[in-house]
Amino acid sequence: DYIQLEVYVIHQVISLEDIVPAFGNNPGDLYELNGIQTAPITMERLQITRFDMSHSTVIEHPIALSTTEDGTHGGGVEFTSGMTADRVTYNVKSLEDIVPPFGNNPGDLFDVDGVQKPEINFSNRNQALRIEVSDATMSEHPVALSTTSDGTHNSGVAYTAGQVSANSTFIVESLEDITDPFGNNPGDLFAVGLDESALTQQPTLTFPNRLGVIKFDTSDSSLSEHPFLLSTTSDGTHNGGVEYTTGKTVVGTVGSAGSYTEYDLNTHNTPNTLYYYCETHEGMGNSITVAQTSYYEWKFDINTPNTLYYYCTSHEGMGNQINIAEELYAEYYLGGDAPDLLYYYCEMHEGMGNKINVVDRSGTKRALLETAKPVAEGYGVEYTPTQAWSVLPAYRYSRILTRMKGTISFSHMGTTGTGSDSEFTEQLRVGEEFQTLDENIIDEDSGGGILLETDERI
């Protein structure tokens, strides 16, 4: 009486380029899904749908969903509800003077999510790899990737393909004689933005990564009489503060072509809040929030090697291997309130996709337990009258995907529930991690897992 269920609906995506349509119009690019050009498809609510984009033709045609036909090309926005996270984050610390098991000389090691120097398995090339190094122990242990074990310490070079820059550039202009919304006397204000088309008057700014450099483009001629400075005090010297100069570099003359001012924030001592202001005129600036996170990030694709290595650029022997699966996919789990109609489209090119009819899930399929042995050998899921899934821990399971919203009981030695021999009973929601007292029950290493699906029927 065990149940093995289909968890994923997978659509194989290929990009067909320069296709001449049936009426002989200009050729264009089209998606082919499961062998059919621009096929309309159906997605079920409470079901994981995966768009497999591993084919080499899709590298320049990333797929996305929208409630608007042709998505952003039709004036709509991307539909991201229930979408798999676009990055996987590993938190790294440095452990110093660790004595290895064989009693050799102690050395430094990376601790990744609480495990010393582990191999990392990366399952989806459509996600970015983020290595967070906010811990103070990492100030002297920069991280890099390489195709060679231990990187530059073993004659290799740093792998930089797809590495996301930690830097941000803001364009600054001065707006003069601005009247505030209440009709008060006009004054001068700074206008700041990430590009010319998105300048905002006197905005609050956020800088997300302390490993980076924050750069202010001061080349606009309107700034010639408005020197742009930073301070740890609101409005700087106009409010009893002093200029903040740590990591500061000035290039050119403010208000002249090519000029900019930048600040290297690559230090754990950078204040969490700074303020930009005009040296000459009061009230022109606002605050800058400096996030308390420091991280490196790489975006992978089909050309990323199957094996990379993370290492410390200043100390040898601290890292290990990253195994990168060949799969590249976008994945969605539509909830019970998902709209009846969606559209798939290419983020880069218009007219490539078609509609998606969204329907309620059919049948009585409810759960899947992934085990290290097949269900036929006696490992699986048993339905109990208490509206719970009872897992029989005869083997070390990797994870459980449940379609029940309710109490999930993991039994031990034939006992379920909340008795003295019960190892786990808890309410869970999608994406929540769970932990068991007996590591033999769920996971070989941690005795836990992640709940991937739930159902609103209970």
Mean pLDDT (the chain, rounded): 76
**Which structural domain, as residue segments, surrounds residue 285?**
168-290
Which of 2-11, 292-301, 410-419 shows the lowest mean pLDDT across its residues?
A: 410-419
Q: Does residue 134 form part of some domain?
A: yes
Is residue 221 in a domain? yes
Query: Same domain, yes or no, for 124 and 180?
Result: no
Q: What is the pLDDT of residues 255-271, one digit of tens each?
A: 999 999 999 987 657 89
Q: What are phi and psi of 238, to 5 degrees?
A: -75, -10
Domain assignment of residue 329, yes or no: no
Looking at the structure, do residues 173 and 230 belong to the same domain, yes or no? Answer: yes
Q: Is residue 30 one of the residues assigned to a domain?
A: yes
User: Are 279 and 174 part of one and the same domain?
Assistant: yes
> Cα dist. 109→10, 49, 106, 134 in Å?
40, 39, 10, 16
- Looking up tokens 């610390």, which residue turns up? 93
Same domain, 183 and 284: yes
Whole-angstrom distance, CA of residue 371 vs CA of residue 121: 18
Q: Which residue has the tokens 């064989």?
A: 102
Residue 58 and residue 205 share a domain: no
Q: How far apart are CA 12 and CA 385, in angstroms?
A: 39
Number of domains observed in the structure of the chain: 4
Q: What is the pLDDT of residues 91-144, one digit of tens each?
A: 999 988 666 665 555 568 999 998 889 999 988 898 899 999 999 889 889 999
Task: Report if residue 132 sits inside a domain.
Answer: yes
Q: What are phi and psi of 57, to 5 degrees?
A: -75, -15
Backbone angles phi, psi at 137, to 5 degrees: -65, -15
Q: What is the CATH number of the domain that holds 272?
A: 2.60.40.420
- Six token digits for residue 70: 């042709």
pLDDT digits (tens, 9 = 90+) for 216-234: 999 999 998 899 999 999 9
Same domain for 189 and 158: no
Instruction: Report pTM.
Output: 0.71
Shared-domain flag, residues 187 and 268: yes
Same domain? For 139 and 198 the reply is no
Question: In this structure, are 184 and 281 located in the same domain?
Answer: yes
Q: Taking the chain, what is the end-to-end CA distance rounded to the nearest angstrom?
A: 22
Asked if residue 78 and residue 187 are part of one domain, the reply reads: no
Q: Is residue 295 part of a domain?
A: no
In a domain, 1, yes or no: no
Same domain, 219 and 146: no
